[in-house]
Amino acid sequence: MATGDKLIQVQHVKKYYNHGAIKALDDVSVDINKGDVMVVIGPSGSGKSTMLRSLNLLEVPTDGSIIFDGVDITQKYTVGPDGKKKKLDINIHRQKMGMVFQHFNLFPHKTILQNMTIAPIQVKGMDKQQAEQKARALLARVGLEDRADAYPIQLSGGQKQRVAIVRALMMEPEVMLFDEPTSALDPEMVGEVLEVMKELAASGMTMVVVTHEMGFAREVGNRVLFMADGKLLEEGTPEQIFGNPQNPRLQDFLSKVL
């Protein structure tokens, strides 16, 4: 489904801590194209989540550029069509990026329907009835139409994560970012969440997925990135990465996880 049109350009991004003693990201560059399902793999502490969270500035890079829809979102100011400089509003760009975390971040005191409609109503000004109609349709898409009036405590981990995914879709994002979405789930719940992600990928959604699920990377991704020590060490198709890995660190990593 990838089109070759660049949606996000990560250019020489660095994220340093302790005055450069810790290099969480060390000169990472990659283009994410519309329709890509880009899967990021690597050992713990390799910089995968830091890279993902940098895409919407939840982590602000120490250096480098992140260009989203033609705008460098790492800059404080942008130049409008009229040639005038104006302050960059990162929240406008974040609205176009859906984010799903390891932990579901649902409001415990609100129903599933309320969790899903609060942002579209308050941020996008969507009509309440329209928002609820859309939310119910999305819940039906993930097999949870009967849970609209339930509270998060009444749902299993897998159900909560499916709600978290469709909640992000309520904002009609251009790209979905997944930060190890199945790592906090019991093994029997992992499959139901991955199934929703597969359907999302098949619909043409641009996705960047940090995961330890190698089967998903192999089956659903069209591009795989391997990171270690804050560096992007190898990228390619699933066939290249899993079938013919070049980098010794990648070979070693795959020998332990496959």
- Contact between 53 and 60 under an 8 Å Cβ cutoff? The reply is no
51-64 pLDDT, tens digit each: 999 999 999 999 99
* Apex 69 CA angle, 64 and 74, nearest 5: 30
* pLDDT in the model for residue 1: 59
- Measured CA to CA, the distance from residue 222 to residue 220 in angstroms comes to 7
Question: Over 80: is that where the pLDDT of 253 sits?
Answer: yes
Asked whether the whole model's pTM tops 0.75, one would answer yes
Structure tokens at 113: 């329907």
165 membership: H or E segment, kind and range = helix 157-169
160-172 pLDDT, tens digit each: 999 999 999 999 9
The set of residues, in sequence order, having a beta carbon less than 8 Å from that of 19 and lying 6+ positions away, is none
188-240 pLDDT, tens digit each: 999 999 999 999 999 999 999 999 999 999 999 999 999 999 999 999 999 99
- Contact between 12 and 54 under an 8 Å Cβ cutoff? The reply is no
- Contact between 80 and 70 under an 8 Å Cβ cutoff? The reply is no
Question: Over 90: is that where the pLDDT of 157 sits?
Answer: yes
* pLDDT in the model for residue 201: 95
- Contact between 23 and 51 under an 8 Å Cβ cutoff? The reply is no
Mean pLDDT value of segment 48-52: 97
* pLDDT in the model for residue 2: 63
The set of residues, in sequence order, having a beta carbon less than 8 Å from that of 244 and lying 6+ positions away, is none
- Measured CA to CA, the distance from residue 83 to residue 104 in angstroms comes to 41
Question: Over 90: is that where the pLDDT of 100 sits?
Answer: yes
The set of residues, in sequence order, having a beta carbon less than 8 Å from that of 248 and lying 6+ positions away, is none
Look over the chain and give the mean of its residue pLDDT values, rounded to a whole number: 95
- Contact between 243 and 224 under an 8 Å Cβ cutoff? The reply is no
